A = this chain, B = another copy of it.
């Protein structure tokens, strides 16, 4: 890809050698002559960093004589944009591997790639250009959109529906039974879980994460939502669009997460709780069952409360030695007064 094409792609101002060929991207420190890099410098002028990068994405006012630059408003975003094109087309060749087990009733669109030892059961529908990696399992009746990429060993239980451009990483498990039990006399009995999981477009689900199917109604994940690794989504959760969950977040059953909420790593949400739109919940935070976090708030701690409040409470606990000291001094003064 020539520098000229990258500048056009990111809508930037090109300075220097427009014909130079760029094949990949790297950090400023480690980039070579055929690499794109970016300089995310904010604030006052700083010396342009030493780099062997063939082309550097920079902010609007950066000057670096003799270098090939592309000036943009957001160098990091532009870098991500360019890198997506630079690294495109590296995925698997279309075709069904001889060692895949694909049911004759499955409808596989054009240019789909099915890897070795993948299993595609009856009545599965797969959209165009989707990549089904080695050992992936798609249960009976699963519906998959176009342009998806399911990495080796991802698994989707029967009946679930996934949109376009969905990414499932290795070991991700979509549609296992929800944890639904009734207590009968002296033991737990299973409530059959007959809902499914419905996932929108452009969703990415991390390695070994689990999204349980609904008990009766469906579990839903809105378009653009991104889950990191080892996340657990309980049955019947309703997750909005463009939600972000860091690794090891856990949601009990029936949780609602509104659009653009961000949950920090290892956060836990109790049954039936509701996280409002654009909420940010700090790592390891815990929301109790049936509670609500209001739209746009920033929360932390267990039980989760507004960040300021949580920090103030921590600060007060940290000041306890001072409080004890004040009390002691006051006692001494009262002792003194009583003597008089």
A interface list, Cβ under 8 A from B? 24-27, 30, 74, 76-77, 79-81, 83-84, 86-87, 97, 99, 101, 115-117, 119, 133-135, 137, 139, 151-153, 155, 157, 167, 169-171, 173, 176-177, 179-184, 186-192, 194, 202, 204, 206-208, 210, 212, 216-217, 224, 226, 228-230, 232, 234, 242, 244, 246-248, 250, 252, 265-266, 268, 270, 283-284, 286, 302, 313, 316-318, 320-321, 323-324, 326-327, 330-331, 333-334, 337-338
Contact = CB atoms under 8 A, between A and B. Distances in A.
A270 B283 contact: yes
A170 B155 contact: yes
B179 A247 contact: yes
Nearest to A245: B179
A86 to B, nearest CB: 8
A133 B137 CA distance: 10
4 nearest A-B pairs in the assembled complex, by CB-CB distance: A101-B116, A137-B152, A176-B207, A173-B207
Nearest to A318: B313
Given A25-B216, A182-B80, A247-B179, A137 B170 contact: yes
B202 A24 contact: no
A208 to B, nearest CB: 5
A136 B181 CA distance: 25
A208 B208 contact: yes
Contacts of A210: 171, 206-208, 229-230, 247
A246 B252 contact: yes
Nearest to A30: B217
A246 B246 CA distance: 19
Highest count of chain B CB atoms <10 Å: which of A76, A115, A181, A210: A210
A116 B119 contact: yes
Given A119-B134, A190-B204, A246-B252, 10 more contacts: A80-B180, A80-B182, A80-B189, A83-B192, A86-B192, A115-B119, A228-B232, A266-B268, A268-B284, A334-B334
A321 B331 contact: no
A287 to B, nearest CB: 10
A268 B249 CA distance: 11
Contacts of A316: 317, 320-321, 324
Given A176-B206, A179-B228, A234 B247 contact: yes
A157 B181 CA distance: 28
Contact of A189 (B84, B115, B117, B139): B84
A157 B316 CA distance: 48
A308 B270 CA distance: 19
A310 to B, nearest CB: 11
A226 B179 contact: yes
A250 B226 contact: no
Contacts of A87: 192, 194
A169 B137 CA distance: 13
Contact of A338 (B169, B171, B182, B337): B337
Contacts of A186: 242
Nearest to A236: B27
Contacts of A155: 151-153, 170-171
